[in-house]
């Protein structure tokens, strides 16, 4: 049916209907009544995204009073004016709101704040801070007339090659869940919703629309679903976004075992599930699975649903369940309250929040001879094209349309450093030239963000002059990645030849002149460091720290702020060291295709051969050497841990430890709680992170006692033989760690009898693993 036909059809139908029934309008407490008053066509339209013009006699042909449109927002839900149902607006995240910054015939601008990317936020290990950032983002959602932020991204960093890792938090589900819950609480405190995504298993971008992620039930529950479970239980997101991919056979969008049995029946979720932005898939299967909303929505889906109900292929009562949940969602939205948004969030205040939150997620990887914070440094030579073309965030739907990105030059100059202008001019000319080449070849479309400019080769004569003229050299290395494709190993995970030469020449020359070199990593993901980390004096992992990035980096380099971030993922020596590399796309030495990762025309799968051995779970157990371990991060000061105490509680334990700043500068410390289970039960990793806490700012000599609570459920592992979460009796070792390789103190905790929670035997692997 063509659009016009639908409109006319609806106009007639709704017109006659409204003359027959008394006008019921949606209110917070009459959802059932409204559902009863809806026609089949209206129900089908409500579960399919978009906001088609509906003419009805009751509204004189006008779209509903509450209907709004926000240019550049990713999607909408349908308004049904005669029933007082407003349209609602769904906009992308997670690093900020993604809408068009300019509108036709409008002089105003609609820029949003570019906050630090998800990985950077997670590396703060500071749930309170993430909640504060969430509040600012939620405020921009509200004030720009949107209802739901399509964030946070919660997929697991199964491999450093995943193009979207910058949007996600960690290789660990506990960090992922806790940080996501804080983010959701922050955004939703503003009276708008979130959509935790992509539920689930979307840990690769290669063929993300079709790939079957084949995994054991245990890996699914413990690694890939656990973070979502925590966020759902602790923060009640208004919406969940199902992923594009399949898991163990069916598409997640069509999987009732995932969207109903696990999500709703086991975890108690009562919000709506929407699809990722797919076209036509099996509409009936999605409704039956409990996927309430199909985004972005098209007319063929509406017609298909109507036909299926009429032919009996889909029960109207099944459709009603989804419609009712959407109505329950609608009454919570700003659109329903007819909130008068300003289009003027306080961008200056939010810029301050992004500047300071970014520094807290930065990870100091190396700092020999207390190179940082700089002292007595007046002049600097700044190498690396990314210094002049700083990267605030990744590409794709997670790219925020921000008004500016502060680069390293601005940041360092405003911090009072003299940046060598000869070198800067050389890079600026190079940047202008390279940008003109990329602009000419760039593909239009959705505006996927700026690609990375190739590094410039700098000759030794130039470096020699710089080493004479400056007190210190900074080299910024950049990486860019994003939605739709995965990264590559050569020259992306590893250094390019030009980069390796640059680091070697700058380090050799500056060191000969007795001057230090600092490398700043401006990326959203992990890269190879083992082969070159010995060369520079200091390495600061700045991540993609948002629009104020240059200021944030300068704050840390100069000591105005200090880094207190720690890694939420392992930095391996080589990609092939990761067990996931046996089946991840784009790995040079991976197993032959057909074993773990296969692409035959309609049958593309990735077998998770490593099971639960993702990231540090594998490295800590196999004791394989890494470049930087999970949980690692240096500080400008030092901390000691003392007085470890573990107390049994009614349903678990509390663990506390006292942290003292024993250095000479202020700082904050993250304490990671690792648990090693007694032998004899299920096979477990050597240790697993079960909780974490961060101190407030501690001045030299100050102490703080951190207390973390754990339930027996938190300690449990998933037993496929009994389909239960089980915590075996015996002696547990509770370790307080500064990283997974640096567990400072341990205490034991004994459990006398087994604890278990029975689950459903669902989502079995579709192939042998």
- Collapsing DSSP to helix, strand or coil, 667 comes out as strand
Beta strands (DSSP E) in 109-178 are 148-150
Residue number with CB closer to ligand BGC (193 or 652): 193
Residue number with CB closer to ligand BGC (158 or 197): 197
* β 88-92/148-150 pair status: parallel
Token pair 């840990």 in the structure block, residue = 203
Site for ligand BGC in 314-343 (CB under 6 A): none
Q: Which two tokens stand for residue 551?
A: 């200021």
| CA 630 centroid distance within chain | 18
* β 517-522/538-541 pair status: parallel
Residue number with CB closer to ligand BGC (484 or 729): 484
- Collapsing DSSP to helix, strand or coil, 506 comes out as helix
Let me know the angle formed at the C-alpha of 570 by 392 and 544, rounded to the nearest 5 degrees. Answer: 5
The residues that bridge with 646 in the sheet, in sequence order, are 655
Cβ atoms within 10 Å of 478's Cβ, excluding its own: 20
Residue number with CB closer to ligand BGC (257 or 276): 276
The residues that bridge with 77 in the sheet, in sequence order, are 88
- Collapsing DSSP to helix, strand or coil, 86 comes out as coil
Site for ligand BGC in 482-501 (CB under 6 A): 483
Size of the site for ligand BGC (CB under 6 A): 8
Fill in the per-residue mask, 132 to 151: x = in contact with ligand BGC (CB under 6 A), - = not in contact.
------------------x-
- Collapsing DSSP to helix, strand or coil, 443 comes out as coil
Residue number with CB closer to ligand BGC (122 or 151): 151
Site for ligand BGC in 77-96 (CB under 6 A): 92
Beta strands (DSSP E) in 237-352 are 239-242, 246-247, 272-274
For residue 766, the minimal CB distance to ligand BGC (Å) is: 23
Read off φ and ψ for residue 695, nearest 5 degrees: -75, 165
Residue number with CB closer to ligand BGC (171 or 483): 483
Query: Residues with Cβ < 8 Å from 618, sequence gap 6 or more?
Result: 578, 579, 610, 624, 685
Residues constituting the chain: 769
For residue 204, the minimal CB distance to ligand BGC (Å) is: 13
For 193-246, give the DSSP string.
Answer: EEEEEEETT----TTTTT-EEE--HHHIIIIITHHHHHHHHHH--SEEEE-SSE
| Contact call for residues 654 and 710 (beta carbons, < 8 A) | yes
- Collapsing DSSP to helix, strand or coil, 474 comes out as strand
For residue 155, the minimal CB distance to ligand BGC (Å) is: 10
For residue 744, the minimal CB distance to ligand BGC (Å) is: 39
Residue 4's alpha-carbon distances to 9, 304, 738, in angstroms, are 8, 17, 64
Q: Which of 43, 197, 487, 566 binds ligand BGC (CB under 6 A)?
A: 197
Site for ligand BGC in 47-66 (CB under 6 A): none
Q: Is 716 in the site for ligand BGC (CB under 6 A)?
A: no
Cα distance between residue 476 and residue 474, in whole Å: 6
Residue number with CB closer to ligand BGC (483 or 548): 483
| Contact call for residues 417 and 376 (beta carbons, < 8 A) | no
For residue 661, the minimal CB distance to ligand BGC (Å) is: 40
Cα distance between residue 428 and residue 454, in whole Å: 13
Residue number with CB closer to ligand BGC (201 or 735): 201
Residue number with CB closer to ligand BGC (69 or 344): 69
Full strand arrangement of the beta sheet holding 472-478: 363-367, 538-541, 517-522, 472-478, 379-383, 418-419
Cα distance between residue 398 and residue 604, in whole Å: 26
For residue 236, the minimal CB distance to ligand BGC (Å) is: 20
The residues that bridge with 628 in the sheet, in sequence order, are 571
Read off φ and ψ for residue 626, nearest 5 degrees: -125, 170
| Contact call for residues 728 and 678 (beta carbons, < 8 A) | yes
Site for ligand BGC in 370-409 (CB under 6 A): 397
For residue 483, the minimal CB distance to ligand BGC (Å) is: 6
Q: Tell me, yes or no, if 276 is annotated catalytic.
A: yes
Cα distance between residue 540 and residue 408, in whole Å: 13
Rounded to a whole number of angstroms, the distance between the first and last alpha carbons of the chain is 45
Read off φ and ψ for residue 386, nearest 5 degrees: -65, -25
Cα distance between residue 269 and residue 325, in whole Å: 11
Closest CA to 402 of 411, 393, 413: 393
For 678-727, give the DSSP string.
Answer: PTTSS---S-EEEEEEE---B-TT-EEEEEEEEETTTT-EEETTTTEEEE
Dihedral angle, C-alpha 418, 419, 421, 427, nearest 10 °: -170
For residue 124, the minimal CB distance to ligand BGC (Å) is: 23
Q: Which two tokens stand for residue 98?
A: 């993604």
Cα distance between residue 381 and residue 471, in whole Å: 8
Residue number with CB closer to ligand BGC (277 or 618): 277
For residue 361, the minimal CB distance to ligand BGC (Å) is: 21
Residue number with CB closer to ligand BGC (143 or 276): 276
Fill in the per-residue mask, 241 to 280: x = in contact with ligand BGC (CB under 6 A), - = not in contact.
-----------------------------------xx---
Cα distance between residue 555 and residue 417, in whole Å: 12
Site for ligand BGC in 150-179 (CB under 6 A): 150
For residue 90, the minimal CB distance to ligand BGC (Å) is: 8
Residue number with CB closer to ligand BGC (74 or 136): 74
Q: Which of 74, 112, 477, 557 binds ligand BGC (CB under 6 A)?
A: 74
For residue 276, the minimal CB distance to ligand BGC (Å) is: 5
For residue 398, the minimal CB distance to ligand BGC (Å) is: 7
For residue 75, the minimal CB distance to ligand BGC (Å) is: 6
Residue number with CB closer to ligand BGC (524 or 765): 524
| Contact call for residues 198 and 167 (beta carbons, < 8 A) | no
Among 147, 212, 276, 714, the one annotated catalytic: 276
Largest interatomic CA distance in the chain = 90
Q: Provide the annotated active-site residues.
A: 276
Interface positions with ligand BGC (CB under 6 A): 74, 92, 150, 197, 276-277, 397, 483
């Amino acid at each position: 049916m063509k659009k016009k036909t639908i409109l006319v059809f609806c106009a007639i139908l709704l017109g006659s209907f409204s003359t027959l029934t008394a006008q019921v309008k949606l209110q917070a407490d009459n959802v059932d009544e409204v559902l009863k008053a809806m026609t089949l066509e209206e129900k089908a339209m409500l579960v399919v995204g978009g906001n088609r013009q509906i003419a009805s006699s009751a509204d004189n042909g006008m779209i509903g009073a509450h209907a709004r449109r926000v240019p550049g927002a990713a999607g909408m839900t349908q308004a049904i004016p005669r029933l007082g149902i407003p349209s609602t607006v769904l906009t992308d995240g997670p690093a900020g709101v993604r809408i068009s910054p300019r509108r036709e015939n409008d002089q105003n601008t609609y820029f949003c704040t570019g906050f630090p990317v998800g990985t950077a936020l997670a590396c703060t290990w500071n749930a309170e801070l993430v909640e504060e950032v969430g509040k600012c983002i939620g405020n921009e959602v509200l004030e720009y007339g949107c209802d739901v932020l399509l964030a946070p991204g919660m997929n697991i960093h199964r491999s450093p090659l995943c193009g979207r890792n910058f949007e996600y938090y960690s290789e660990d589900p506990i960090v992922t869940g806790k940080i996501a819950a804080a983010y959701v609480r922050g955004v939703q405190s503003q009276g708008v919703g979130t959509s935790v995504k992509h539920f689930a298993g979307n840990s690769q971008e290669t063929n993300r629309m079709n790939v079957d992620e084949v995994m054991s039930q245990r890996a699914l529950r413990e690694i890939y679903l656990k973070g979502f479970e925590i966020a759902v239980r602790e923060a009640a997101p208004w919406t969940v976004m199902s992923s594009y991919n399949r898991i163990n056979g069916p598409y997640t969008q069509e999987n009732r075992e995932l969207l109903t049995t696990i999500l709703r029946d086991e975890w108690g979720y009562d919000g709506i599930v929407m699809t990722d932005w797919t076209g036509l898939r099996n509409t009936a299967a999605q409704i039956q699975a409990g996927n309430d909303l199909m985004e972005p929505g098209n007319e063929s889906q509406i017609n298909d649903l109507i036909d299926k109900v009429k032919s009996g292929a889909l029960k109207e009562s099944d459709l009603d369940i989804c419609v009712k949940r959407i109505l329950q969602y609608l009454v919570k939205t700003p659109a329903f309250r007819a909130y008068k948004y300003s289009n003027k969030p306080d961008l200056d205040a939010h810029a301050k929040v992004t500047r300071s939150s970014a520094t807290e997620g930065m990870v100091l990887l190396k700092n020999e001879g207390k190179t940082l914070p700089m002292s007595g440094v007046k002049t600097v030579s700044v190498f690396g094209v990314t210094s002049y073309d700083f990267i605030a965030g990744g590409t794709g739907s997670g790219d925020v349309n921000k008004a500016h990105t502060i680069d390293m030059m601005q940041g360092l100059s405003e911090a009072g450093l003299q940046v060598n202008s000869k070198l800067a001019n050389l890079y600026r000319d190079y940047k202008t030239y390279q940008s003109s080449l990329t602009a000419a070849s760039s593909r239009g479309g959705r505006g996927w963000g700026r690609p990375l400019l190739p590094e410039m080769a700098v000759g030794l004569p130039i470096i020699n002059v710089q080493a004479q003229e400056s007190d210190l050299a900074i080299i910024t290395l950049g990486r860019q990645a994003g939605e739709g494709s995965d990264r590559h190993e050569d020259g992306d995970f590893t250094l390019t030849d030009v980069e390796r030469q640059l680091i070697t020449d700058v380090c050799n020359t500056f060191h000969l002149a007795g001057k230090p070199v600092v490398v700043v990593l401006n990326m959203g993901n992990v890269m190879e460091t083992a082969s070159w980390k010995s060369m520079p004096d200091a390495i600061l992992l700045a991540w993609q720290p948002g629009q104020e990035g240059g200021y944030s980096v300068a704050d840390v380099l100069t000591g105005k702020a200090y880094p207190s971030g720690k890694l939420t993922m392992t930095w391996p020596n080589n990609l092939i060291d990761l067990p996931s590399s046996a089946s991840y796309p784009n790995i040079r030495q991976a197993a032959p295709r057909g074993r773990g990762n296969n692409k035959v025309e309609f049958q593309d799968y990735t077998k998770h051969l490593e099971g639960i051995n993702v990231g540090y779970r594998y490295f800590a157990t196999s004791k394989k050497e890494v470049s930087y371990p999970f949980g690692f991060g240096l500080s400008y000061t030092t901390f000691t841990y003392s007085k470890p105490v573990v107390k049994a509680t009614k349903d678990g334990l509390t663990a506390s430890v006292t942290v003292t700043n024993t250095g000479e500068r202020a700082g904050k410390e993250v304490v990671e709680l690792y648990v090693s289970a007694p032998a004899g039960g299920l096979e477990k990793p050597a240790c697993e992170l079960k909780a974490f806490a961060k101190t407030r700012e501690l001045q030299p000599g100050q102490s703080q006692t951190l207390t973390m609570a754990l339930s027996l459920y938190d300690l449990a592992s998933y037993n496929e033989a009994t389909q239960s979460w089980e915590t075996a009796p015996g002696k547990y070792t509770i370790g307080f760690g500064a990283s997974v390789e640096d567990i400072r103190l341990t205490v034991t905790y004994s459990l006398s009898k087994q604890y278990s929670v029975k689950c459903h035997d669902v989502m079995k692997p579709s192939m042998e693993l």
